[in-house]
Amino acid sequence: MPIKKVFVTRPIPQAGIDLLKKKKELQVTVQPKPINLSKKEMKKRVKGTDAILSLLTNNIDGEIMDAAGPQLKIIANYAVGFDNIDLEAAKKRGIIVTNTPSPEISESVAEHTFALIIALAHRIVEADKFTRAGNYHGWDPKLFLGHDLVGSNLGLVGLGRIGKLVASHALCFGMKVAYFDKMRDPQFEKDTNARYLSFEKLLAQSDVVSLHVPLLPSTRHLINTKALRLMKKNAFLVNTARGPVVDETAVLKALYAKKLGGFALDVFECEPAIDCDTTDQYELAKLPNVIMTPHTASATVRTRDAMAILAAQGILDSFAGKKPAHAVV
């Protein structure tokens, strides 16, 4: 059997690499540095490969596919999202594209999302910084007053696997749940007593708005100036979906004008840049009621191992003539 070449664009958990390397007919090359290759370098490195195991931070277009050569069979994306890959170009060339959805990812992201909600409501990050700076000199009845979650309204924008898990956490904390999605889910409503609302009504009635939608032309800047004007001025906005779903400049202006209670995000509109425009007066990092994590919502050992195994298995299945379980093209 001829040797097939697999190129991994940057280091991933060893569980996936080991699965690939068990196959003697595979030559696995891992780009050793945790950096994104330039397009020029990527085109050079993928030449002659049969499979590319890419990350969400790698933009894989038709040029890169052609640079690999006509033998390229699969692009296994180490992520749930796949907006970094030109799916039409892949389809045109007969290249399989896979992603890595799993229960572990949904659970980790949902936990992280709810941790951000709690941290915003109870001002945990602010209080931590205050205490570390040596500013705590005794109990004060008005020190870092936050907001109770019990009895408050959680509005979910998008009701996929992650949204439903966030709802289950919210119910444990005594929150009332509402959701907006392109499809109603009567069973979810029956099981949770959740309300289905229009997007506009959900924004207006929610104390916490949590985003769980994919990045599509229809969802880009879904949260914009118009949407923010509908929200309560003390409401919290949480984004663990995709950065460009939120117009961050609009959110920044709302925060500076005190027309939004707080913002927590794990993804950024111009990622990896924290702010799209560093020349203006608005900066996320300067606001105490903003909590930022560096795209780590799924960063648990269990989850990242599961993702690596799924990506690797997709490659093995394609080489064996099977349709990978998580093929998107």
Q: Would you state the structure tokens that stand for residue 102, as one six-digit string?
A: 């799993």
d(CA 60, CA 43): 10
Residue 307 CB neighbour total at 10 angstroms: 25
Q: Would you state the structure tokens that stand for residue 100, as one six-digit string?
A: 């890595």
> What positions carry a catalytic annotation?
242, 271, 295
Domains of the chain with bracketed CATH: 4-99+302-319 (3.40.50.720), 104-292 (3.40.50.720)
- Intervals of the chain under pLDDT 50: none
CB neighbours of 210 closer than 8 A, spacing ≥ 6? 113, 117, 154, 155, 156, 157, 163, 166, 238, 240
Measured in degrees and rounded to the nearest 5, phi and psi for residue 16 equal -75, -40
Strand duo 176-180 + 262-265: pairing: unpaired
What is the DSSP secondary structure assignment for residue 122, as one 8-state letter?
Answer: T
- The pLDDT value recorded for residue 101 is 92
DSSP lists the bridge partners of residue 85 as 60
- The pLDDT value recorded for residue 111 is 98
pTM above 0.85, yes or no: yes
Q: Would you state the structure tokens that stand for residue 220, as one six-digit string?
A: 């880009």
Contact of 229 with 251, CB cutoff 8 Å: no
Put the strands of the sheet holding 208-211 in their side by side order.
Answer: 195-196, 176-180, 153-157, 208-211, 236-239, 262-265, 290-292
Dump pLDDT digits (tens) for 28-85: 999 999 999 999 999 999 999 999 999 999 999 999 999 999 999 999 999 988 989 9
Cα pseudo-dihedral 237, 239, 240, 242, rounded to 10: 170
Closest CA to 65 of 57, 56, 54: 54
Match 């749940």 to its residue by tokens: 177
